[in-house]
Amino acid sequence: MIAVPAPVQRLFEWKVRGVRCVEIIGVACVLALVFSVYIAKAAAARESAEISRIERDIRENRQRVRLLRAEVTRLEQPARLEALSREIGLGPVDVKKQAGEAALTEIAPPPAVEKPVAPPVAPAPAPAADPAAEVVQ
């Protein structure tokens, strides 16, 4: 048998109402472990629910993206756009109405020129009185 110091031996033999103190501490540790495992499992379940909600949102958004792409494809069909432009009276641009590079200056407005802002002019200081002129009078 292993030799155990006397204070440690007394700790293991100390009893409260017929139950050794070490057993009470052991049961308390087991209860703390069970409680911590329960808390960790509940947190993992919450995280799992959040992950499945996010994955469901991703699937829904992917479906929306597919629907929107299909809608864009339908709206951008050249035949449809041509029919709409004819309904409102639009047609292809006549070659004679196209502007060349030289005519762009006539079509475009001249660039706006900003006027430089002049700094405010300070009033001229009043002439200082000459002390020698006052004495002469």
Give a yes or no: residue 103 inside a domain: no
pLDDT at 105: 77
Gap between the Cα atoms of 57 and 53, Å rounded: 6
| 30: its two tokens | 């087991």
Full domain range(s) for residue 50: 6-90
pLDDT at 89: 86
Give a yes or no: residue 110 inside a domain: no
How many domains does the structure of the chain reveal? 1
Give a yes or no: residue 18 inside a domain: yes
Give a yes or no: residue 119 inside a domain: no
pLDDT at 102: 79
Give a yes or no: residue 126 inside a domain: no
Gap between the Cα atoms of 16 and 24, Å rounded: 9
| Residue numbers in the chain where pLDDT is lower than 50 | 137
pLDDT at 54: 98
At residue 93, φ and ψ (nearest 5 deg) are: -75, 130
CB 107 within 8 A of CB 99: yes
Give a yes or no: residue 121 inside a domain: no
Give a yes or no: residue 50 inside a domain: yes
pLDDT at 43: 97
- Please tell me the pTM assigned to this model: 0.44
pLDDT at 24: 84
Run of H or E including 15: strand 15-16
